[in-house]
Amino acid sequence: MDIDTAIPSLIPEDTIFSDFLILDQSVKGRRLVYLDNAATTQKPLPVLLATRHYYEAINSNIHRGTHHLARTATEEHEKARIRVARHLNAATADEVIFTSGTTGGINLVADILALSGRISPGDEILISTL
């Protein structure tokens, strides 16, 4: 049994490649393969379009203003948290926190653990290199 029959794809390969426009290029005569997702993840077309819409029509701080754009940005942010919570089967959207990236997320968790007294000097925290 080969990998293609052992693990059926949920999304057809051609759909995946059509969503990631950056992968539609060749390097040394072969299709580009990008494996550096820990550093920067490539964005699918729906994300690029949603981001463009945000910057063209909504761009504002969230939870910090009362003007139209701030309210709209806050509403869209909270709707996104609800959608992500449903997708992850979280109990509530309050369990979803968006961060700027992995490093920021890990630092946030470390700060929360330290400030809450759940860790103390001398405690050891094991993390994966992945």
Judge whether residue 4 has pLDDT over 60: no
Average pLDDT score over residue span 11-18? 80
The ranges assigned to domains in the chain are 1-42, 100-130
C-alpha 116/C-alpha 123 separation (Å) is 14
Judge whether residue 7 has pLDDT over 70: no
Q: What is the pLDDT of residue 112?
A: 92
C-alpha 130/C-alpha 123 separation (Å) is 22
Say whether pTM exceeds 0.85.
Answer: no
Q: In which region does residue 12 sit, left (phi positive, over 0), alpha (psi from -120 to 50) or beta (all else)?
A: beta
